[in-house]
Amino acid sequence: MLKPREAVLAVPLYHPPLAGREGLRLDFNENTVGCSPRVLERLRGLDPEQLVKYPERGPAEAAVAGFLGVPSDEVLLTNGVDEAIHLLCETYLEADDEAVIVVPTYSMYRIYAMATGARVVEVAAGEDFAFPAETLIERVSGRTRLICVANPNNPPGSVASREDLLRIARSAPDAALLVDEAYYEFYGQTMLGAWRELPNVYVARTFSKAYGMAGLRLGVLAGDAEQMKSVRRVASPYNVNAVALGCVPEAIADQGYVEGYVAEVREGRERLKKALGVYGIRFWPSQANFILMRVGLTKTDSAKFVEQMRRRGMLVRDRSSDHGCEGCVRITLGPKEHVDRMLAALQEVVEELGIAQGASPR
């Protein structure tokens, strides 16, 4: 009988929502409004010829490199950051190598790493999800070939300092260090260009979050030009579709749109923090477009909360299964009108479930 590789069978199942996300989508950290009107205009005016031809990545890649202020040979456009992670796993991990991740974090690092047959080494975040730089460095072994750090991290929204990231890259020269900056626009600090000094550093960015283009699947992997040559070997030549490529120049040209959206999200973040403070609900300060909060002590509590929010038309994400996140829920922020609606629903749910709790233990 046909049998998948053992490593594939060991990969934990990830259940993305593939249908039926009805309501205000505050569950997957997307832009809750949409993309720049300039992108929409470009979409309407796309030449049908673009759909007939295999997509040509070059010009869009050069435009993105120019925008990031790095040469084109340091940049690869990808099918979302997800593909960037996948490509790094394919490039560096042999079976029985080690990939080091911090937990809790974004699920796909583990999934792609495990699929190669590599062992995933989990380093638990510190108190209040602090970045565990020391422990991570201690856990790097002679077999470590990949280290993935989401900065800001998802779901807690916490960050790693530049010094810590550089220290890690220096202490593990035989491992690729992926700094996943999917939420960069909400944070504002980057490791872009760090590979000039430390060629094992990679940075990933996405158009799925602040730019509001998750459906187009467009990400960026940037790193040392020599190292990128190996990554390109395993990438599909047509990994990014023509529609996404056609829209990129407009998306990066309209920074006013992105900045306006980010400013609204930051305001919403402050309003939610304030409301949670009033209810006495424990939360963790976030540098991204979401906040992780503890709405109870168990998975049942968080499931009830998610269901009550859903009944009020708000989709929020239960994170109870993540390391250190029992009873926790993550809510994505958007512009004022969406935050107004979310806060109104939150107030009702807090009252209905009686979850105003004072500071709860982590």
Ligand X SMILES: Cc1ncc(COP(=O)(O)O)c(C=O)c1O
154 contacts ligand X (rule: CB under 6 A):
yes
3-state secondary structure 185-246: HHHCCCCCCHHHCCCCEEEEEECCCCCCCHHHCCEEEEECHHHHHHHHHHCCCCCCCHHHHH
Residue nearest to ligand X (CB): 80
Stretch of residues binding ligand X (CB under 6 A), selected from 4-12, 75-83, 159-167, 269-277: 75-83
131 contacts ligand X (rule: CB under 6 A):
no
258 contacts ligand X (rule: CB under 6 A):
no
CA dist 336 and 133 (Å) reads: 36
Among 27, 82, 97, 318, binds ligand X (CB under 6 A): 82
CB of 175 to ligand X, least distance (A): 19
Site string for ligand X, 172-211 (x = CB under 6 A): --------x-x-----------------------x-x---
132 contacts ligand X (rule: CB under 6 A):
no
Nearer to ligand X, 81 or 345 (CB): 81
CA dist 251 and 244 (Å) reads: 10
Nearer to ligand X, 84 or 272 (CB): 84
Q: In the 8-state DSSP scheme, what is residue 72?
A: G
CB 78 within 8 A of CB 87: yes
Stretch of residues binding ligand X (CB under 6 A), selected from 41-49, 74-82, 230-238, 259-267: 74-82
CB of 163 to ligand X, least distance (A): 21
SS3 16: coil
Site size for ligand X (CB under 6 A): 13
CB of 223 to ligand X, least distance (A): 16
Among 80, 104, 212, 327, binds ligand X (CB under 6 A): 80
- What does the block give as tokens for 160? 């790693």
Measured CA to CA in angstroms, residue 101 lies from 63, 135, 205 at distances of 32, 11, 18
CB of 85 to ligand X, least distance (A): 7
For 132, residues 6+ apart whose C-beta sits below 8 A from its C-beta are 102, 123, 124, 125, 126
- Whose CA is closest to 189, among 121, 131, 110? 131
- What does the block give as tokens for 319? 């994170």
Cα atoms in the 13 Å half-sphere on the side-chain side of 258: 21
221 contacts ligand X (rule: CB under 6 A):
no
Nearer to ligand X, 220 or 355 (CB): 220
Measured CA to CA in angstroms, residue 249 lies from 45, 60, 124, 217, 243 at distances of 14, 7, 39, 15, 11
Nearer to ligand X, 14 or 54 (CB): 14
214 contacts ligand X (rule: CB under 6 A):
yes
Cα atoms in the 13 Å half-sphere on the side-chain side of 215: 11
Report the largest interatomic distance among the alpha carbons of the chain, rounded to a whole angstrom.
60
Stretch of residues binding ligand X (CB under 6 A), selected from 52-60, 80-88, 131-139, 307-315: 80-88
Among 219, 223, 268, 334, binds ligand X (CB under 6 A): 219
Summarize as ranges the residues that interact with ligand X (CB under 6 A): 29, 80-82, 106, 150, 154, 180, 182, 206, 208, 214, 219
